Structure 1
Amino acid sequence: MAHIAILSLPEAGHINPTLPIARELVARGHRVSCPAAPSVADRIRETGAEVLRYEPRPSEPIVIDGMEAAARATLALLQDLEHVLPQIEARYAGDRPDLIVNDWLAWAGPMLAAKWGVPRIQSWSAHAASEGYDFGRFVVAMFEASPIKTQFDDLLATVLDKHGIPPLELHDFYRPAEFNLVYQPRSFHVHNDTFDDRYAFVGPTRPSDPRGWTPPGRPLVYVSLGTIISDPAFFRACIQAFTGRHYRVVLSVGPDIDPTAFEPLPANIEAHHQVPQPAVLAHTDVFVTHAGMNSAMEALAAAVPMVAVPTTPEQRTTADRITQLGLGRSLAPAEATPDRLRDAVRELLDDAATKQRLRAMRRDVRDAGGAPRAADAIEARLPPR
């Protein structure tokens, strides 16, 4: 069978959609290899895929709270790549894959595919690029106004030259590949009339499973900003908003915040580093979320209304779509006061029309096909052997 390389970033929102696909491809008899940082190696290994371990560049997380921070985060992405690309290429020495599937921010994918002349599929854990939605144009414009543009351009030229990779520009990393996997139903995606048969809208690949977690009670409000954003003040606002309410509240505060820092907590609220999100969402009545794509899709798979509190441009696009389609509410971070959070949750708990629209969207999610359809699309594009 074929050798398929899956390249992603080690963050949950990027790697989570690919794990069920890796498992499905392995079950079909394919060999799947995944370059990986130690932090995610065990999760990949559980799928049956082969882990090609690399050591990541030591770095501090960047809070994206403005255009300049977004530019610095993009430069950091290239600096990370400069560090790990020699390791990844060495792992594939004499053992090149037949096809590469890469996350849209795993730039080693387009670089190595161009160098090796192997086909590539882009994995969109965010909104996919098309003629109608070009996030890359925004990134390029952002760098035009940034004082670190020259530093980025010089480093990109150095990486390409050092590894013998054909010329690539920043915008190229945000353009669609010859084929693209999108982890949304088409009905949710922005500008969904601008996509052609180069795209498979497979929806979320991790279905909700109520058997994986026991809720503390119902109704249940689940609060999470994902695994990257650390904002203790936001969680304190949620505690103030929801203390003593008739519903139970589960806070997933992320790996960088100590849940005990919020103690003593009221009887109806509990805090954890992380929880099994798809299982929690299967029991959730309202989800307060940063509107990361992975989280939003898992909520739609469980038909859970959302209070979106986005902090990045991509999250704001998702939050806008949630409100446009009547699937929840959206608050800017500065608007997420205890009173506004409490009101938004109360409205959604009692909103029958929103729940009806969510049930229709859940049908679209299920019809999209998930990991099996993604695996079908990958197999259809394997080169003949």
Structure 2
Amino acid sequence: MSKVFFFSIPFSGHVNPGVGLAKELVEKGEEVIYYCTDSFREKIESSGAVFRSYGDKFYLNDDFVTHNNIEILRVHMELSELIMEKIYNDMKRDRPDYIIHDFMSTWGKHAAQAYNIPAVNIYTTFVERPEGILKTVGLVLAVAFLILKNIPRMIDIRKISGRLKKKYNIKTKGLIDIIDNKEALTLVFTSRTFQPYSEKFGDDYKFVGPVSMYRKEKIKAFRLNRSEGRPLLFISLGTVFNNDWEFFLKCIKAFGNMDMDVVMSVGKKIDISSLTIPENFTVKHFYEIPQLEVLKACNVFITHGGMNSVHEGLMNGIPLIVVPQQLEQAHMAKRVAETGSGIYLDMSEVTPESLKESYIKITSDHSYVKNADKMKASFLKAGGPEQAAEEIFSYIKSIDRMT
């Protein structure tokens, strides 16, 4: 049995697949010590992993929202310095055999470097390679302009980088390295079929399929408001950008009192009592809805396009209507449309009419279900948590043979 330190960032889209992998590793006899924030303690402990908190000073959570990419880099470096100090005694006492870290957990890679421990990087979304991003002159100029606008933040990043190098001999190769955190082995939680331009990635990237749906959900007293024989539509904007009042009103207007049942997940800032809820709707806050359970029963899924939600929908063979809330989700929506497994709706163009038209189209054209089933087959073939664990074990053994 090996001892594993697992570092994640505290967002459901990152923790849910991490928990799926942790559960598999625990079942195979590994001792997994999983670092995150207290809000995810119960979910992490349900996997059998030992939970450890990042502490009160760790401020990255659902309420932290910024569209300034340089600020994101600064935050990750600042938090890495914080975590490196916090885990110093843990590393000396526990001496983990290897580390697993989310691709955005900068401190995970830094810990592996500082203590010369093998590490595995996990991607909970599509892989975006920097060499593909920076090829256009216009984008290079835009990045240069962004840096010039953020000189104080760049100075902070440089200072933190210097302190980390002096104290732990950690070397930051560049800005992209802060949020990419590449290792000799990277697990990508999708299939090669679903990953755009997958032919560009070598054997150091292992596409092991989705793992988020292998977690346990503990949500009590949830009841579907169903009528026998009617189709079920599930609507959710996920766990972060989910307080768009106008969008939910459009959904009510589009689907209210149709011959169908609707479950709608809303953000915690939405006052459900102020909504006029039609007879065929069940409306709950997102943390009150067991998404995995609902998806097993539904026919169409209107989603924000988060990687986990898309995977969980397609793993049930459900066609998707994707309404992305930010850039990463727009990439996901585009891929869903490219594979024919759903429809991409731009948020700025969403109306009750476009929602209703998309629903009618996706339920009347059976190619969407067929293509969703093709994606499901590619996910199952990729192997899931069991394959992910096998890739890790194989990699660690290869390192052991070399030492």
- State the TM-score, normalizing by the size of structure 2: 0.86
Tell me what 1:247 maps to: 260
Counterpart position of 1:30: 30
Matches for 1:317-332 after TM superposition, within 5 Å = 317-332=331-346
Cα displacement (A) at 1:26: 1.2
- Is 1:306–1:328's contact at 8 Å kept on the other side of the alignment? yes
Distance 1:318 1:309, change over 3 A: same
Residue of structure 1 in register with 2:185 after alignment: 179
- Where in structure 2 are the equivalents of 1:37-116 lying within 5 Å? 37-55=37-55, 56-58=57-59, 61-63=63-65, 68-116=67-115
The Cα shift of 1:160 comes to 3.1
Q: Which AA in structure 2 matches 1:26? A: V
Given candidates 172, 175, 189, the residue that maps to 1:170 is 175
Please, which of 206, 216, 221 is the counterpart of residue 225 of structure 2?
A: 216
SS of residue matched to 1:307: strand
State whether residues 301 and 319 of structure 2, in contact with CA within 8 Å, keep that contact through their aligned partners in structure 1.
yes
Alignment partners' CA distance in 2, 1:48 and 1:103: 19
The one-letter code matched in structure 2 to 1:100 is I
Aligned to 2:291, which of 261, 277, 284?
277
* Match of residue 259 from structure 1: 272
Distance across 2 between alignment mates of 1:278 and 1:374: 21
Distance 1:111 1:261, change over 3 A: farther
* Equivalent residues of 2:4, 2:96 under 8 A apart: yes
**Based on CA coordinates, which of the two structures has the bigger radius of gyration?**
2
Query: What is the deviation of 1:82?
Result: 4.2
Change (3 A) 1:196 1:119: same
Is residue 225–residue 282 contact of structure 2 (8 Å, CA) maintained in 1?
A: no
Is this contact kept in 2: 1:130–1:195, CA < 8 A? no
Partner of 2:302: 288
Which structure: greater helix fraction?
2
**Residue pair 2:20, 2:214 contacting (<8 A) in 1 also:** no
**CA 1:379–1:279: 2 relative to 1, 3 Å:** same
Indicate if the aligned counterparts of 1:44 and 1:51 stay in contact, CA closer than 8 A. yes
Q: Which amino acid aligns with 2:162?
A: D
Q: Does structure 2 retain, via aligned residues, the 8 Å contact 1:125–1:183?
A: yes
Percent of matched pairs sharing the same residue? 27
**Cα distance change on mapping 1:336 and 1:360 into 2, 3 Å:** same
In structure 2, stretches of 5+ residues that fail to align are: none
The alpha-carbon deviation at position 276 of structure 1 amounts to 1.4
**CA offsets 1:150-209 (integer angstroms, 9 cap, x no match):** 233333333333332422122113263211111111100010111221122111114489
Partner of 1:190: 196
Write the letter of the residue equivalent to 1:108. W
Decide whether the 8 Å contact of 1:208 with 1:301 is kept in 2: no
The match for 1:377 is: 391
**Offset at residue 136 of structure 1 (A):** 12
2:12–2:239: 8 Å Cα contact kept in structure 1?
A: yes
Q: Would the aligned equivalents of 1:132 and 1:194 in 2 still touch at CA under 8 Å? A: no
The answer to whether the Cα contact below 8 Å between 1:63 and 1:69 also exists between their aligned partners in 2 is: no
* SS in structure 1 of the partner of residue 94 of structure 2: coil
Shift of residue 95 of structure 1? 2.2
2:92 match: secondary structure: coil
Q: Distance in 2 between matches of 1:46 and 1:255?
A: 24
Q: Is the 8 A contact 1:288 1:307 kept in 2?
A: yes
Q: CA deviation at 1:145?
A: 2.5
**What is the RMSD computed on CA atoms of the aligned residues?**
2.8
Contact 1:245 1:268 in 2 (8 A): yes
Distance 1:201 1:73 in 2: 27
Tell me the distance in 2 between the aligned counterparts of 1:165 and 1:280. 48
CA distance in 1, matches of 2:350, 2:120: 38
How far residue 12 of structure 1 moved from its aligned partner, in angstroms, is: 0.3
Q: Is there any run of 5+ residues in structure 1 with no aligned partner, and where?
A: none
Determine the structure 1 residue equivalent to 2:150.
Answer: 149
Show the counterpart of 2:209. Answer: 203
Q: Secondary structure at the match of 1:145?
A: helix
Amino acid aligned to 1:220: L
Letter in 2 for 1:265: I
Match runs of 1:283-362 below 5 Å: 283-362=297-376
Q: Structure 1-normalised TM-score? A: 0.90
| Deviation (angstroms), 1:83 | 4.0
Instruction: Verify the 8 A CA contact 1:133 1:191 in the aligned structure 2.
Output: no
Counterpart residue type for residue 155 of structure 2: D
Query: Take 2:103 and 2:43, find their aligned partners in 1: how far apart are those partners?
Result: 20
8 Å Cα contact 2:224-2:282 kept in structure 1: no
- Aligned mates of 2:191, 2:315 — CA distance in 1: 10
